[in-house]
Structure 1
Amino acid sequence: MKDQKYKNTILDLSLILNELQKPIQILDSVKWQEGVDDFIIKNNFKELPTISYDNRPLKYDPSKKLQEFKELRLKISRELGPSDPLGLIIARNCMQYEDVIRMLMVRGKPQFYDYSKKLYGSANETMGDGKTKLSDLAKIMSKLLDSLNENMLGENFERSMTSEQVVDELKGRLGTYFKDEKIKIKLSDGIISDASAGSDYIKIKSDLKFSRKDLDIFEVHEGWVHLGTTLNGQTQPYAKWLAKGPPCSTVTQEGLAVIMELFNFALFPRRAKRLNDRLVACQMAENGADLLQVIEFFRNKGQADSQAIKNASRIFRGAPLTGGTPFTKDIAYLKGFVMIYNFMRTSIQEGKVDLIPFLFAGKVTLEELPTLKEYHDLGVITLPKYLPPQIKDMNGLAIWMAFSSFLDHMRLDDILKENRNQEGTNPFRKAS
């Protein structure tokens, strides 16, 4: 067990880090000025708008803030030593925030992409098997999702719920889930996405219509995962840094949120297509497509003009509009999904299932989970207070992954070929 002096040092360093990062608001810093949508539509999608970040100055002195993070890293090394595992995580987070500051200092310039790729990754990167590219997933998923007919899959969930109704229902659902917390569910007209989670609240975009499926997704994605991991981080007695998410935790956060949508059967084809389209669009932009070409991609998907502009703008926030150097945060959803799904499979297969709950301990990365488990055993890290039912009782999850591992050895092409070979001898098949 670690002594109280060590624990208090971790708490002190955590609180300093949380205070230092507080004014660094990435998405707010790259928000576009009003009127961009109108300009694009008025010019018939033929002319790129001019984006200025002069009206969104950073809320801190970047040079001073960089120095403060550097000083904290030196303090970590002095007080914990240069190789302390928890100290290395906190120092890594410091360096992440330093790169965020450098990225925001070059908003609108090509160098913005260099930092974005370093912090969030690229649609063209290779996944964990060392040979499959993330962009390969986008191609395969596009083909599979386009072949699905939602009308044949079950109920067609119409968007008939008002924002106010969603707020009221979420209050009831999450009030039960977070029974010891005073969380707030509120309307907002200042967010780009349909919903957004904060430290103790969830915002729902006002003046929109939602389906019951959207409500289920907000409950799981924004509630169980984003808000839940924040609250679990806040309830840590010493490792308070876990309540705050540096960019390296974004892939874990978004992937975990999507995988919980799947495990809760809230994920549906239209939602999956939206996530996959973000990945495809990001790859297009990395390969040189400009803002107007990405907007056209979304319009060709049947999206209304304003929605297509909104989705394309996510990929060009802070970045030049001419293509080749986008903001790559939107790859996190499917990149994270693949990484976490494979992490769960290997953890179960290798008898390390006790690592899985630590995905919810706060804003974490996969690489640090063994360290968090080790320091839980040493009395520094606590188990998450709020866990989804599928993680509280992992019997079903273990069987899911066991069958998944076996079925992965069977090639779908071979199965389809065998089915076609047997069609002629099937006595129940209607003669054509």
Structure 2
Amino acid sequence: MSLTKYKEKVRFFSDQIVEAQRPFRILDAIKWDSSLETEFFANKGKVFPKVDRAYYERIPLGFDPIAKISELAEIGRSIHRELGSDDGLAQLLMETVDQYLDVVLMLKSRGTKEFYTCSSKLYGSTRDTFFDGKLSILDQGAHLNKVLSSFGNKFLGQDYPKNLTSEDVVRELKDRFSRSFLKDKVDVRISDGIVADAAAGSDTIKIREGATFSRRDIDIFEVHEGYVHVATTQNGKAQTTAKFLAKGPPRTAVTQEGLAILMEILTFSTYPLRARTINDRILGVNKAEEGANFLEVYEFYLEQDYNEVTAFRSAMRVFRGGTLDGGSPFTKDISYGRGFIENYNFIRTAIRSGRPEIIPFMFAGKLHVDDVPLLYARHLEGMVDMPKLMPAQFQDLNGLAVWMSFSSFLNTIDANVVTSYYDSLFRRYL
């Protein structure tokens, strides 16, 4: 097959996949109505919210699951037939199709235990281990909980009061983006239909109406939602051939959210309470995986010093889509911490292996970090375009290269010995 014909087929199947997944709105399909929160507190936080299979069935999916399964299955068969099973891009396309098939099954099973089976297949479980096969995502959560809890709820420096309105945030972000690499690429507006404080679409960032924010929140929204989520989406949409990179199946969430957390850290935008909030999502998901029910996870968040509203919304993130009696959480929220570790290790390895040129391709679209070597190889063949929208840290890799070079050595030092030495000094003088 000629390269021209091959590119035509990849573009054709990319367009088919993007069109097939268009009606999927995972978070909307498992969203809790605000009245559930009101009723929960009217019952003094002692009664389960009225969320079950019947509740979810009243939320339309926007597509016929049976017909969608048939459509996706046919696309998968066509890819296999036309491109074969040995081609790297064909394998990635087929894996993407399989992911979307599992999305349909997950949404079909809202309000049942089967929901968790699909969720853990798509997003992972806190029991999953990292590359060493020993340390799990739960181990990461437990370790960070111990460290981050020692800071309490204080800022390590200037305090950032939440005294800004959603209108203030919109104005500030618009001004910042107008002076960044996202100039004319993104809009910012207020929305009353989101659970999180901020959410990014392909060219729009939504800010939750009625919420209050700090200057630090704006810093985070700028890099997390803008520099990563909007940038990777638009780079994917700009692809000439690999159009499938415009949309991310669930397997890409870990890399996308991990990259956003990495950018928060690289720009010094984050802070301990923010990191602890993200880490506590891992612990909440684990408790639900181990059988804790909604009220028990809600109480767990209260014990972590969250206020009642934040505790409810944190527990809601864990249980949306599944059952409230425990054992079937929505596991997407483990992506943030896990993704940071995976992305960090990828970048560090690329530096150590003398392949820094592949790192910018983490921004080529909605992808998993494991896809980057393949996508770079296809870039050299003219199949995948170089991403154009990237933050400064990835446009100029000098700083990252030096940081990761030192980091690779630091990890050879016995941390327990170092900790013991300095702890002795702390005890002596402090």
1:3 lines up with 2:3 in the alignment: yes
Gaps of 5+ in 2: none
1:36 lines up with 2:36 in the alignment: yes
Aligned CA distance change for structure 1 residues 149 and 53 (closer, same or farther; 3 Å): closer
Match 1:172 to one of 168, 172, 175? 175
- Take 1:290 and 1:352, find their aligned partners in 2: how far apart are those partners? 47
CA contact (8 A) 2:182 2:389 kept: no
Match 1:350 to one of 338, 348, 353? 353
CA contact (8 A) 2:245 2:364 kept: yes
Q: Deviation string for 1:1-46 (max 9, x for gaps)?
A: 9722222221111111111100011011111234211222122222
1:127 is matched with 130
Match 1:315 to one of 290, 314, 318? 318
2:377 maps to a residue whose letter is E
- Take 2:61 and 2:3, find their aligned partners in 1: how far apart are those partners? 40
CA contact (8 A) 2:181 2:391 kept: no
2:46 is matched with 46
Deviates more, 1:202-211 or 1:43-52: 43-52
CA contact (8 A) 2:14 2:242 kept: yes
Q: Deviation string for 1:358-397 (max 9, x for gaps)?
A: 1100011122111101100001101111111111111111
1:251 is matched with 254
Match 2:63 to one of 56, 60, 63? 60
CA contact (8 A) 1:2 1:379 kept: no
Match 1:106 to one of 100, 104, 109? 109
CA contact (8 A) 1:255 1:337 kept: yes
Match 1:403 to one of 388, 403, 406? 406
Q: Deviation string for 1:238-273 (max 9, x for gaps)?
A: 111101010000000000100110001111111101
Q: What is the deviation of 1:200?
A: 1.1
Deviates more, 1:361-370 or 1:410-419: 410-419
2:385 is matched with 382
Match 2:91 to one of 82, 88, 102? 88
3-state SS of paired residue (1:233)? helix
1:362 lines up with 2:365 in the alignment: yes
CA contact (8 A) 1:120 1:251 kept: yes
Q: How does 1:197-276 map to 2 (within 5 A)?
A: 197-276=200-279
Q: What is the deviation of 1:96?
A: 0.3
Aligned CA distance change for structure 1 residues 268 and 34 (closer, same or farther; 3 Å): closer
Q: What is the deviation of 1:409?
A: 2.1
Q: What is the deviation of 1:55?
A: 1.9
Gaps of 5+ in 1: none
CA contact (8 A) 1:347 1:356 kept: yes
Q: What is the deviation of 1:79?
A: 2.1
Aligned CA distance change for structure 1 residues 9 and 136 (closer, same or farther; 3 Å): same
3-state SS of paired residue (2:205)? strand
Q: TM-score, normalised by structure 2?
A: 0.95
- Take 1:320 and 1:102, find their aligned partners in 2: how far apart are those partners? 16
2:178 maps to a residue whose letter is G
2:417 is matched with 414
Q: What is the deviation of 1:176?
A: 2.9
CA contact (8 A) 1:7 1:380 kept: yes
- Take 1:386 and 1:400, find their aligned partners in 2: how far apart are those partners? 22
- Take 2:205 and 2:424, find their aligned partners in 1: how far apart are those partners? 53
- Take 2:281 and 2:12, find their aligned partners in 1: how far apart are those partners? 39
Deviates more, 1:145-154 or 1:129-138: 145-154
1:300 lines up with 2:303 in the alignment: yes
Deviates more, 1:407-416 or 1:253-262: 407-416
1:156 maps to a residue whose letter is D
- Take 1:354 and 1:151, find their aligned partners in 2: how far apart are those partners? 39
1:147 maps to a residue whose letter is S
- Take 1:385 and 1:272, find their aligned partners in 2: how far apart are those partners? 29
1:280 lines up with 2:295 in the alignment: no
CA contact (8 A) 1:106 1:112 kept: yes
CA contact (8 A) 1:357 1:384 kept: yes
1:325 lines up with 2:328 in the alignment: yes
CA contact (8 A) 1:32 1:53 kept: no
Q: Deviation string for 1:258-305 (max 9, x for gaps)?
A: 011000111111110110111111111111111111111112222222
3-state SS of paired residue (1:203)? strand
2:21 is matched with 21
Q: What is the deviation of 1:127?
A: 1.0
1:73 lines up with 2:67 in the alignment: no
- Take 1:419 and 1:11, find their aligned partners in 2: how far apart are those partners? 57
- Take 2:111 and 2:128, find their aligned partners in 1: how far apart are those partners? 23
CA contact (8 A) 2:155 2:271 kept: no
Aligned CA distance change for structure 1 residues 54 and 13 (closer, same or farther; 3 Å): same
1:191 is matched with 194
- Take 1:80 and 1:332, find their aligned partners in 2: how far apart are those partners? 31
The alignment covers a number of residue pairs equal to 427
Q: What is the deviation of 1:416?
A: 3.3
CA contact (8 A) 2:99 2:250 kept: yes
3-state SS of paired residue (1:53)? helix
Q: TM-score, normalised by structure 1?
A: 0.95
Deviates more, 1:261-270 or 1:53-62: 53-62
- Take 1:187 and 1:410, find their aligned partners in 2: how far apart are those partners? 48
- Take 1:334 and 1:419, find their aligned partners in 2: how far apart are those partners? 27
Q: Percent identity?
A: 43
CA contact (8 A) 2:289 2:328 kept: yes
